[in-house]
Structure 1
Amino acid sequence: MFIKTGKLIAFAAMTMTALPAMAQELRYAHVGAEGDIQTRYAEEAAAGIAEATDGEVTVEVFPASQLGGVSEMVSGVQMGSIPMGHHDFASLAQIVPEVSVFNAPFIYRDGAHALAATDPATSPALQQINERLVEEGGVRIIGRIYRGARHISSNFEVKSPEDLAGKPFRAVPLDLWVSMVKGFGATPTPVEVAELPTALMTGLVVGQENPLTMITSNSLHEVQSHVAMTGHMQSILAIFVNEDVWQGLSEENRAAITDVLDAKAEESLTWAQESEDSLVAELEDKGMTVVTEEDGLDVAAFRENVLAQINADFPEYQPYIEQIMAVE
């Protein structure tokens, strides 16, 4: 039995039209634990992306360092073996060192300012650095997450840098954090987040700093007795993607993904702001002592010492800091 060529072509065209477009699945890695704002963000963003792209782009999230620590994750995104990830902006410093400026302590007025100053669509400083990330590392920042202000936890009372003098204190394994911890007066000891509870339990480090959401979700009250409400950083994370993967998506899907990430960024600010009071109460109920300026915490001394250390270690940040501070 023979089929005329014209009918065969028409049948093939009809068959191809009837088949749904093949979904592009993106693996998304991060180091956050269950209960952290960043984990909620990733899960809800993944669901939002699938809906906004009508299933043409799906995202599978791998939390809690399942695909490796920070350095492995960044390298994976550069190579494309991990299409997407999120972490502190400074985690991309292995590509462009100046990107760390977006995590610098004491440069944002509040959480809303931090989100505005890190908007990939409107922030002059971020746009300049994003161009370099794409050119030099094949990575693009496409969104951000607000996790709240970062505070110091320790197994003794901390009110001033003198209280931390010479003591081993956990630093995120990034140059900016090492510099900041020096400004705290402590001895920086790099520890990956997955190893942090053990490091605190064994005394490898006597303290660390993180948003209250992370302190709670990682049950650090079991190994720390005090929280000093220094608010030294507005914790802002970058969502980044492999540039080849990003350009492999349609323009419509890139726009849809960006819209989802922007909306979730604003929601993350609300989540963080609404949760801080309840988190303080929860930590106190679990036996932690919360130290504020009313209790004698000298935030001004921390600000002065830390900024002096950052300015000494990273003078190249100054033009970007001026642009960040000018954002309304």
Structure 2
Amino acid sequence: MTTTTRLFATTALALATMASAAQAATWRYAFEEAIDEVQGVFAQKFKEEVEANSDHTIQLFPYGTLGESADIMEQAQSGILQFVDQSPGFTGSLIPEAQVFFVPYLLPQDTETLATFFKESEAINEMFPELYAEQGLELLTMFPEGEVAITTKEPFESPDGLNEVKVRTMTNPLLVESYRAFGATPTPLPWGEVYGALQTNIIQGQENPMFFVESTKMYEVTDYVTMIGHNNFTTAVMANKDFYDGLSEEEQQVIGNAIDAAFEHIIEYQDGLHEESIEKIKEAKPSMTFTTLSEEERAPFKEAAQAVEQEFLEMTGEGGQEILDQMKKDLEEAESGTSG
């Protein structure tokens, strides 16, 4: 074999090895919940679809395995992680417009309307991807996780009832403003500190979807669950943009198809989950009190929410106004589509 032939053969082998490695990579995906909670169920379906339709492997990292929310976002932006699932509640510091999901009483409670909105919204599918791209992130999808409930140590039925009550919030400026408007004392804390802070009365309340209240046993350190109808928890699945842009069209299609399948799966999975979680809590702690405020009782909270919407616009300027206007238009279309 001549030197030229050997060189050609070696180069061909190296290229084949590189191609094989590209075809069979391990992709890392971190999220903010446990493996059996909503984000974990979505991630497992995504993993199943990707692995069934490609040579790639998805390695999943549930909450706590790679640190807090801020840690996994940094790892996604730096390329250590290929995928990350994080609520706009945490991403709001990077992308102020994403805080629109925390404008109280903006999102509807009807689950069918919500699903249609998240699937078809121009704001989500066309406007937000550009904002995420500026932060080195490819926005793959957003999805709802359930109506947000407030758990407290004492009952309340009005903003006056939340006076001086310290309610834990995510480190999100608009969420802080929401609870201030609702009469409470907002107290931003990392999630890992919440149970202990409630146990020692450093805080007296927190908010989350009902499945999360049940799975994290927040009912053990609070006594009242109140639904004021102010929000539905939203989360976003993203990829590191450099990683995503470096993929072939076929690989991007595999990811897109897996995201679509996981979205449909998680919407179906959540059907009845809110009610099932309430029943589990009642069984574990019969003394737990559940209250859903009437429309009349919600009126003072809705009135307070108007100031929060204005605060969002002051934080985000013209860009925030465009996002909010488009979201309201998208919501109207989703409502007419599901009711028609």
TM interval, short-chain normalised: 0.7 to 0.9
The aligned residue for residue 319 of structure 1 is 322
Of the structure 1 ranges 2-11 and 280-289, higher mean CA displacement relative to structure 2 is found in 2-11
> What is the CA-CA distance between 1:199 and the residue it aligns to?
1.2
Paired residue secondary structure (2:175): helix
303-312 or 249-258: bigger deviation: 303-312
- Structure 2 equivalent of residue 90 of structure 1: 89
Q: Which residue of 1 aligns with 2:30?
A: 29
* 2:236 aligned counterpart, secondary structure: strand
Whole-Å separation in 2 of the counterparts to 1:79 and 1:209: 31
**Contact residue 32 and residue 38 of structure 1 kept, 8 A:** yes
Cα separation, partners in 2 of 1:164 and 1:15, compared to 1, 3 Å = closer
> Could you say if the C-alpha distance between residues 5 and 319 of structure 1 is closer, same or farther in structure 2, counting changes exceeding 3 Å?
closer
Report % sequence identity.
Answer: 25
The whole-number CA distance in structure 2 between the counterparts of 1:303 and 1:236 is 20
- The C-alpha deviation readout for 1:52-78, integer Å capped at 9, x for no partner, is 2x22x3221111132121222222222
Deviation at 1:26, TM superposition (A): 1.8
Answering whether residue 293 of structure 2 is matched by residue 293 of structure 1, we say yes
SS at match of 2:272: helix
Q: CA deviation at 1:18?
A: 9.7
Q: Is the 8 A contact 1:159 1:297 kept in 2?
A: no
Letter of the 1:29 partner, please give it: A
Cα deviation digits, residues 271-328 of structure 1 (max 9, x gap): 223212222222222231111236x982232222123223235344343222112222
Letter in 1 for 2:111: G
Partners of 1:233 and 1:51 lie apart in 2 by 36
Change (3 A) 1:125 1:213: closer
Equivalent-residue separation in structure 2 for 1:77 and 1:104 (angstroms): 26
- Structure 1 residue 70 corresponds to structure 2 residue 73: no
- Contact (CA 8 Å) 1:31, 1:193: kept in 2 or not? no
Q: Which residue of 1 aligns with 2:338?
A: none
Partners of 2:196 and 2:105 lie apart in 1 by 29
1:253-272 equivalent positions in 2, closer than 5 A? 253-272=251-270
Q: Which residue of 2 aligns with 1:45?
A: 46
For 1:94 and 1:32, the matched residues in 2 are separated by: 20
Contact 2:124 2:142 in 1 (8 A): no
Counterpart secondary structure, 1:60 = strand
Q: What is the letter of the counterpart of residue 246 of structure 2?
A: G
- Give runs of aligned pairs for residues 1-328 of structure 1, distance below 5 A: 2=1, 21-22=20-21, 23-52=24-53, 54-55=54-55, 57-109=56-108, 110-119=110-119, 123-124=122-123, 126-134=125-133, 136-285=134-283, 286-287=285-286, 288-293=288-293, 298-315=297-314, 316=317, 317-327=320-330, 328=334
Q: Please state whether the residue corresponding to 1:68 is helix, strand or coil.
A: coil
Cα separation, partners in 2 of 1:311 and 1:160, compared to 1, 3 Å: same
Unmatched 5+ residue regions in structure 1? none
RMSD: 2.7
Unaligned runs of 5+ in 2: 335-340
Separation of aligned partners in 1, 2:190 and 2:79? 23
TM-score normalised by the chain length of structure 2 = 0.85
Q: Tell me the TM-score normalised to structure 1 length.
A: 0.88
Give SS of 1:227's match.
Answer: strand
The residue type paired with residue 309 of structure 2 is I
- Higher mean displacement: 313-322 or 153-162: 313-322
